[in-house]
Amino acid sequence: MQIVWTKHAQERQLQWEERLKITREEVEAAVTNPQQIVVEEDVLVAQIKRGNGLLRVPFVEIGKTRRILTLYWTNQVNRYWQENPNES
């Protein structure tokens, strides 16, 4: 699987690396091996629990390519984490 970064996602990763030490490798690991993927409108969101929060990486899948649109960390785990994501 190929990972493609948008310019916006690259910029956001650098901002989060300064704040919370979220590395490029960690983001790519979240996209290739997420703890959970949820669907929001037409976008897939890879999620991994990190510390007392959640790293969320919205992406689109085109063939065997995952294009990272943006990323962010949130402490609102209960808002985004779905206990039964396949029961939507």
Residue 69 in tokens: 């649109």
Split into its structural domains, the chain has a count of 1
Contact 8, 72 (CB under 8 A): no
Cα(56)–Cα(42) distance, integer angstroms:
15
Q: Is residue 85 part of a domain?
A: no
Q: Is residue 20 part of a domain?
A: yes
Q: Is the pTM of this model over 0.85?
A: yes
Q: Is residue 42 part of a domain?
A: yes
Q: Is residue 86 part of a domain?
A: no
Supply angle C-alpha 1, 14, 22, rounded to 5: 70
Q: Is residue 69 part of a domain?
A: yes
What pLDDT was estimated at residue 37? 96
Q: Is residue 57 part of a domain?
A: yes
The string of pLDDT tens digits covering residues 28-80 is 999 999 999 999 999 999 999 999 999 999 999 999 999 999 999 999 999 99
Model confidence at 86: pLDDT above 80: no
The string of pLDDT tens digits covering residues 14-26 is 999 999 999 999 9
User: For position 38, which CATH number holds?
Assistant: 3.30.2310.20
Contact 41, 57 (CB under 8 A): no
Cα(60)–Cα(77) distance, integer angstroms:
22
